Amino acid sequence: MSDRIACPECEGRKGLRIGDLFLSCQFCGGLGWVGDTNEPAERSGTPPAGPSPVWQHRVWSDPYVASQLDCRYCLGSRHLTSIDEEAGTMRTISCVCAPSP
């Protein structure tokens, strides 16, 4: 246990907002802070809940790959799809890289 600090991944923003989609931070679990009772480093015994967000994948450290795809969020499709499991709906929005209408 340690003092609460703003999450180093999302800097306390709890995640990443793209348009009207909100992708919660996987490091702090969407709380915006770590430490106290929310200590990612102390969860080392349990496997991560899921794979890293695609834009944080280590493939992006390869300059060739990064230069071939113009957008790491939508991979060039200009759209992002979000599935709301609770509501049972799927929404598609324009990606941040798409030209504004």
Our CB check for Zn ion shows the closer of 41 and 88 to be 41
18 binds Zn ion (CB under 5 A): no
Determine the Cα–Cα distance for residues 4 and 7; give it in Å rounded to an integer: 9
26 binds Zn ion (CB under 5 A): no
| Dihedrals phi, psi of 54, to nearest 5 degrees | -60, -35
Minimum CB distance to Zn ion, residue 101 (Å): 15
Give the one residue of 71, 82, 93, 94 binding Zn ion; rule: CB under 5 A.
71
- Coarse DSSP helix, strand, coil percentages of the chain, rounded to the nearest 5 percent: 15, 25, 55
27 binds Zn ion (CB under 5 A): yes
95 binds Zn ion (CB under 5 A): yes
> Which residues bind to Zn ion, rule: CB under 5 A?
7, 9-10, 25, 27-28, 71, 73-74, 95, 97
